[in-house]
């Protein structure tokens, strides 16, 4: 069941689930606030919890609304695209042959079959970005596993709307945002290290921050620079 809590200019959507703990999240692009709450909690208790987090909610909303977004891509000639932080101009070639993507000097060459529409071009290019990331990640994991004393059992690459990465300490797996293949390589390494540290410390506690300081002293700089860069234009719904 979905209910709402209104606190001045902030409306919070509350969903009760069979979970143990309460989870608060603020979602782009407008800063919509959602809470997933255990069935045992009454609405007044949830309201008190939200009030204690109002300043944090406002800060998150401000950051999301200020976030620069890339213009929607049309996948046409000489459109700008980025690979590992470098800008390339798109060149579209129609050819009755299997699709492919190739970097040539300052060009990102996208070969498609005649008549391919925007959605098909987007799909081909996103698959290519996913492949770039899948090739770049294993050497980073191999580098950091012995330094941290942890093992990553599996990693996944997928399109993510609200996160650069995530970690499941129970399964020792990490997930990475496909769009990291568009950003400078040092940002990918920072995200990989961030998620691997969660195998040692699952929360963003003082211990987590101390471990990040130990393994990657410049991590806060990388994080702020990554979050400053434009993120992809997205279509958002209420799901």
Q: Compute the distance between CA of residue 35 and CA of residue 23 in angstroms, rounded to an integer.
A: 6
pLDDT by 10s per residue, the chain, length 239: 678 898 888 999 999 888 888 888 887 667 889 898 998 999 999 999 999 999 999 988 887 676 666 677 899 999 999 999 999 999 999 999 999 999 999 999 999 999 999 999 999 999 999 999 999 999 999 999 999 999 999 999 998 877 899 999 999 999 999 999 999 999 999 999 999 999 999 988 899 999 999 999 999 999 888 877 665 544 433 32
Residue-range domains of the chain with CATH = 2-66 (no CATH), 80-228 (3.30.2010.10)
Radius of gyration in angstroms for the set of CA atoms belonging to the chain, rounded to a whole number: 21
Q: How far is CA 166 from CA 37, 176, 190, in A?
A: 21, 7, 13
Residue-level pLDDT at 25 = 86
Residue-level pLDDT at 231 = 58
- Burial class from Cβ neighbours inside 10 Å (0-12, 13-18, 19+) for residue 66 reads exposed
Q: How many CA atoms lie within 13 A of 60 on its CB side?
A: 17
The answer to whether the predicted template modeling score (pTM) of the entire model surpasses 0.95 is no
Instruction: Quote the DSSP letter at residue 159.
Output: -
Q: Compute the distance between CA of residue 224 and CA of residue 23 in angstroms, rounded to an integer.
A: 24
- Strand locations in 113-170, DSSP E? 154-158, 165-168
Residue-level pLDDT at 134 = 97
Residue among 140, 208, 221 nearest 174 (CA): 140
């Amino acid at each position: 069941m979905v209910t709402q809590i209104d606190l001045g200019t902030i409306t919070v959507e509350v969903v009760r689930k069979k979970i143990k703990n309460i989870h608060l999240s603020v979602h782009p692009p407008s800063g919509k606030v959602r809470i997933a709450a255990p069935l045992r909690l009454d609405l007044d208790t949830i309201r008190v919890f939200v009030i204690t987090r109002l300043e944090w909610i406002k800060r998150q909303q401000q950051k999301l609304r200020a976030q620069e977004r890339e213009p929607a891509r049309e996948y046409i000639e000489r459109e700008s695209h980025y690979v590992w932080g470098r800008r390339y101009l798109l060149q579209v070639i129609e050819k009755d042959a299997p699709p492919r993507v190739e970097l040539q000097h300052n060009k990102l060459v996208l070969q498609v079959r005649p008549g391919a529409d925007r959605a098909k071009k987007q799909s081909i290019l996103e698959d290519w970005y996913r492949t770039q990331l899948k090739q770049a990640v294993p050497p980073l994991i191999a580098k950091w596993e012995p330094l941290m004393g942890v093992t990553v059992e599996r990693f996944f690459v997928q399109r993510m709307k609200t996160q650069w990465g995530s970690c499941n300490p129970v399964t020792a797996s990490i997930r990475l945002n496909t769009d990291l293949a568009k950003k400078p390589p040092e940002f990918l390494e920072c995200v990989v290290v961030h998620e691997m540290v969660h195998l040692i410390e699952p929360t963003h506690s003082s211990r987590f921050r101390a471990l990040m300081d130990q393994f990657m002293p410049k991590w806060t700089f990388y994080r702020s620079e990554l979050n400053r860069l434009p993120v992809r234009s997205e279509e958002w719904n209420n799901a």
